[in-house]
Structure 1
């Protein structure tokens, strides 16, 4: 995820940390999340600011997670500052 660079650095970091905390709290609320982690990029020369790594048993679980109200609320923390997004769903 790429955030909007018009934010001041400290504001941007606060939004990123708030998002990280909200997302990483979701397994308690959404039992079918097998693993979830939010990484915050420390290299400002790179394009992306946030990496979300998550694991689910099925694509149906991924789709249910996407619309789950608790996830929607957590994702909403980035609504006003998100400039871009990329996603890859894959199976192991």
Structure 2
């Protein structure tokens, strides 16, 4: 099994209401993906509640293989979900590891 963890940092200068709306839209879109992308075994999105921390969004997902992660990453539904935070996203960090 491959675990795919992604953290997103949002732009400090983006308006708080715009960031919150984008975060909630992104969470809803990502968590709806298992019904559209069969290779997803598990997925969840956490929105950081601690303003003292750097990262705003954590995405945790599980796949059978790294090829499945690559398929998911390029799937049009996933790409569309990513665009929901594009304007407010500053950076992204990702780790994929096998259990």
Question: Could you tell me the TM-score, scaled by structure 2's length?
Answer: 0.90
Residues 1-35 of structure 1: CA distance to partner in whole angstroms, max 9, x if unpaired? 00112222222111100000000000000011000
- 1:49 and 2:56 aligned: yes
Greater RCO (Cα-Cα under 8 Å, separation 6 or more): 2
Counterpart-to-counterpart distance in 2, 1:59 and 1:82: 25
Counterpart pick for 1:18 among 11, 19, 25: 25
- 1:90 and 2:93 aligned: no
- The RMSD of aligned alpha carbons is 0.7
User: What runs of 5+ residues in structure 2 fail to find an aligned partner?
Assistant: 1-7
Greater strand proportion: 2
Q: How many residues get paired?
A: 92
Counterpart pick for 2:39 among 32, 35, 42: 32
Question: Could you tell me the TM-score, scaled by structure 1's length?
Answer: 0.96
For 1:62, the equivalent position in structure 2 comes to: 69
For 1:72, the equivalent position in structure 2 comes to: 79
Counterpart-to-counterpart distance in 1, 2:26 and 2:13: 18
Q: Bigger shift: 62-71 or 3-12?
A: 3-12
User: What runs of 5+ residues in structure 1 fail to find an aligned partner?
Assistant: none
